[in-house]
Structure 1
Amino acid sequence: MNSISVPNQRISSIDLVKGLAMLIMALDHVRDYVHAPAFLFNAADPEQTTLAIFFTRWVTHFCAPAFSFLAGLSAFMIGKRKPKNELSGFLLKRGLWLVFIELTVINFGWLFDLSFGTILLQVIWSLGISMIALAGLVYLPRKVILIFSLILIFGHNLLDNIQFDDSILWAMFHKLNIFMLSENLMFIAGYPIIPWIAVMSLGYCFGDFYDKSVDSSKRRKTFNLIGIGAIVLFVVLRWTNVYGDPILFQQYDRPGQDLVSFLNPTKYPPSLLFLLMTLGGTLLLLANSEKWKGKLVDFICTFGRVPFFFYIIHIYLIHLIAIGLVTLTGFVWEKNMVLAAWGAIENPIPGYGFPLWVVYVVWISVILVLYPICKKFDRYKQGNKDKWWLSYL
């Protein structure tokens, strides 16, 4: 994931939330490669999952919305020191770079497929496209950007009943879909761009709250009110099934199943309820973490200062660990860990996988291995701000 650094002074709470998003995201990616049930059923299926598996998945829902929102917020901050045309150019170039990296370096990291038989449009793609969109939106008054963002976030579920199943363009904009472009080429629109572009532009509108003229107590109070309001609205709409998600909340025979159904709004694309739940939580964390200090905070902030660098190397490390685990358990990694479609159509590795506790052990190991690398890169980046190419990492 790409970040936009504030030239003079970083805000630790923003780095903290970014870092948490990165670390929690890594948990989900380890689960994808290591956990046996990840190849068998959806971790959020009320009829098959357990609460432990579900919450391991659920907590990661906050990552992409938080980072997209914070990327927009950071764009506003850097825009205060640049003319609009420079900010727009900055966002355009970063957005194009992210899309390119998604289709090359990151696609390969996920699949290790030299033939590039699958085109995956995932979170880095959505961030790149959102930056490209924001490059145009920044010329508008912030009130107009705010109205645009809210209309798209609150209104996009009105499009749910529009079906163009054979349209790649529609899949890229609003409906997750898989296409076989040829016998050997698959296209997966995993992160349709509506309403991701609005999440980033909404974050841009929140940048004013970090102006030096805004008292931190006022910011905290405002963020808490908006965050609590978003979560309350999520609960009301989810319980009543009035609007906001194409998959309705269902009640089952067991309370645990009810809880899973209730807390699992649609992510692909993120429904209104998904965004109310995740952005509400993000705002509450931002509101109340500004004064947090200590070694653990510093540890997490390190990842938040180099998120895109971490994102790329963590995918490769997790995939390499999975190759080792596959080999140790008697599978042929060349056959089973060069993934044509990552289980999009069928289980790529029948019989492979480990219990959930192994997922957590591998996850913690990945973090500990990557921490000194990220810390060293962070120091290098902070000490070499004159090197333009570092802004692309």
Structure 2
Amino acid sequence: MTAGVTAPRFTAFDRLRGLIMALMAIDHASYAIARIHAFEAWSTAVPEPVTITRAISHLCAPGFFMLMGAGMVWLGKARQKSEGWSHARIRRFFITRGLVLLVVQHFIENPAWILMTVSADPSSPMLQAVEPGGGSDYFLHFAVISALGAAMIFWAFLIELPSLVILAITAAAAALSVWMTPPASEIATLWPYWKTLLFVPSHHNAINVLYPWVPWLVPAGLGIVLGRIIYKRPEKTVTVALGLGLVLIATHFAFAHSGVPGLSAFLKYPPTPSFLAVTLGVDLLLISVFAFAPSAMLGPLDVFGRSPLFFYLLHLYVLAAISFAFPSGSSLPVMYAVWAAAMVLIYPACVRFARFKASKPVESMWRLF
């Protein structure tokens, strides 16, 4: 992907991406098959118990954003060296990709979620949960793909800034997100559209936001700095990933015991500093492990990790199709069996798509998938 950077580095990052894709699919199978889905949101007065199935999926979204930030650095460097791209051309490329992700969210991803939802028994407890906000029925749903697109567009304008400035902007985004998160008692408030889209996961008439844009700038910004460090010293990948991972996990425990509400809370919607610290920390530890793991054992993760958006969209529609057989849910063993079968079905399609994508020019939109 980038000239001058060793292959094991990319293997480790591809494997992490592949792993979190597979773990994310477990969480989505829980929604589509078992009809169980947690919602660790600011509006929950009493935190929900975290199951193992849900806990392992927490690694996914922060990892996606961190890997995207690092990938922006590596892709930019690669295009400069191999194609002679200017900073302006790289910026336009990332802005275009970000806009494509926003379109994918609303026109390709969301219909799959609609299918998974309408296939459920209306009396399912999963569908009875009280969501923050309210108003008329919404038709624009902003989830992880739209937040990835927004983060890519935002950082495309700033990616050439010094790392210390990137870190300062990242810290400011984290602090602003904590400050803008309301107390659970405000669950019925209809926030202004801008606040809903940027900061507060909630429903406001036409829009429903699960992944507000500003909080998720944080892991992407950290990924940019990480990508720069590893680009300069690829031989230090394991040391950097292990060291930063341990620091972030220690930071999580410091936040968790700080007694400061905005820091100690463990929430995904929006992601709190405590949540991001431990999930990114574990993701980094996994990178350090994957750098040495035998390739033969982890081949499927490499395949999934090299076609992430294709995998993401395909697995949603596979689960959506199967979901009609489980309107009232299933046991966890059945859900895991369905998930495993879906992974087996998706694997050869990802192998073929990876070959197809590699045959396309560097500016092809197929490369995005």
TM-score by length of 2: 0.83
Instruction: Flag structure 2 segments of 5+ consecutive residues without an equivalent.
Output: 119-136
SS of 2:270's partner is: coil
- State the match for 1:77 in structure 2: 74
For 2:145 and 2:2, how far apart are their aligned partners in 1?
Answer: 21
Indicate the RMSD between aligned Cα atoms, in angstroms: 2.8
| SS in structure 1 of the partner of residue 24 of structure 2 | helix
- 1:229 maps to 247
Separation in structure 1 between the aligned mates of residue 275 and residue 307 of structure 2, nearest angstrom: 27
6 and 33 in structure 1: CA distance in 2 versus 1, 3 angstrom threshold: farther
Once the two structures are superposed, what CA deviation does each residue of 1:133-177 show, in whole Å capped at 9, x if it has no partner? 011112422321122113323553133348773312101111111
Residue 192 (structure 1) shift: 0.6
Aligned residue among 227, 234, 250 for 1:207: 227
Residues 233-261 of structure 1: CA distance to partner in whole angstroms, max 9, x if unpaired? Answer: 211221342354474xxxxxxxxxxxxxx
1:7–1:370 distance in 2 versus 1, CA, 3 Å? farther
Does residue 152 in structure 1 map to residue 185 in structure 2?
A: no
Q: Would you say the 8 A contact 1:7–1:78 is kept in 2?
A: no
1:381 touches 1:390 (CA, 8 Å); kept in 2? yes
Hey, what's the Cα distance between the residues in 1 that align with 2:288 and 2:3?
23
Task: Verify the 8 A CA contact 2:151 2:216 in the aligned structure 1.
Answer: yes
Distance across 2 between alignment mates of 1:166 and 1:143 = 33
Q: Aligned residues: percent identity?
A: 26
1:37-116 superposed matches below 5 A: 37-38=36-37, 54-80=51-77, 81=80, 82-112=85-115
Judged with a 3 Å threshold, the aligned counterparts in structure 2 of structure 1 residues 389 and 166 are, in CA distance, closer, same or farther, namely closer
What residue in structure 1 maps to residue 23 of structure 2? 24
**Separation of aligned partners in 2, 1:110 and 1:202:** 30
Q: Is the 8 A contact 2:138 2:204 kept in 1?
A: no
- How far residue 7 of structure 1 moved from its aligned partner, in angstroms, is 7.8
Output one character per residue of 1:39-98: Cα deviation in whole Å (capped at 9) or x when no partner.
xx75999989777xx110111011011011101101101111242112111110000000
Q: Which residue number in structure 2 is paired with residue 389 of structure 1?
A: 365
Structure 1 residues 245 and 175, CA, compared in 2 at 3 Å: closer, same or farther?
farther
SS in 1 for 2:220: helix
Letter in 1 for 2:287: L
Letter of the 1:78 partner, please give it.
L
Other structure's SS at 1:120 match? strand
1:390 is displaced (CA, Å) by 1.6
For 1:138 and 1:23, locate their aligned partners in 2 and report how far apart those are by CA, in whole Å.
29
- Cα distance between partner residues in 2 of 1:13 and 1:360: 26
Take 1:49 and 1:158, find their aligned partners in 2: how far apart are those partners?
23
Is the contact made by 2:69 and 2:222 (CA closer than 8 Å) also made in structure 1?
yes
Report the CA distance between 1:12 and its aligned residue.
0.4
Q: Could you report, residue by residue, the CA deviation over 1:11-46 in whole angstroms, capped at 9, with x for unpaired residues?
A: 1011001001110000000000111444xx759999
Specify whether residues 385 and 6 from structure 1 end up closer, same or farther in structure 2 by C-alpha distance, changes over 3 A only: farther
1:125 equivalenced with 2:138 (yes/no): no
Q: How many residues align?
A: 335
Given candidates 257, 273, 279, the residue that maps to 1:239 is: 257
- Report if aligned partners of 2:66, 2:219 keep a CA contact under 8 Å in 1: yes
Is the Cα contact below 8 Å between 1:18 and 1:67 reproduced in 2? yes
Q: How does 1:370-389 map to 2 (within 5 A)?
A: 370-385=346-361, 388-389=364-365
CA contact (8 A) 1:122 1:191 kept: yes
Could you say if the C-alpha distance between residues 138 and 357 of structure 1 is closer, same or farther in structure 2, counting changes exceeding 3 Å?
Answer: same
Letter in 2 for 1:67: F
Shift of 1:273: 0.5
Q: 1:50 to 1:78 in 2, by over 3 A?
A: closer
Alignment correspondent of 1:269? 270
1:353 equivalent to 2:324? Answer: no
Q: How far apart in 2 are the matches of 1:7 and 1:390? A: 22
The residue type paired with residue 233 of structure 1 is T
The alpha-carbon distance between structure 1 residues 378 and 7, as it changes in their structure 2 partners (threshold 3 A), is farther
Q: Which residue of 2 aligns with 1:305?
A: 306
Shift of the alpha carbon at 1:365?
0.7
1:237–1:243 CA contact under 8 A, matched in 2: no
Shift of residue 129, structure 1, vs aligned partner: 0.3
Separation in structure 1 between the aligned mates of residue 332 and residue 143 of structure 2, nearest angstrom: 25
Contact 1:34 1:359 in 2 (8 A): yes
Q: CA deviation at 1:225?
A: 2.0
Q: SS at the partner of 2:356?
A: helix
Aligned counterparts of 2:35 and 2:95: Cα–Cα separation in 1: 40
Check the 8 A contact 1:36/1:355 in 2, yes or no. Answer: no
* Ranges of 4+ aligned residues in structure 1 off by more than 4 Å: 5-10, 41-51, 161-164
SS of 2:213's equivalent? coil
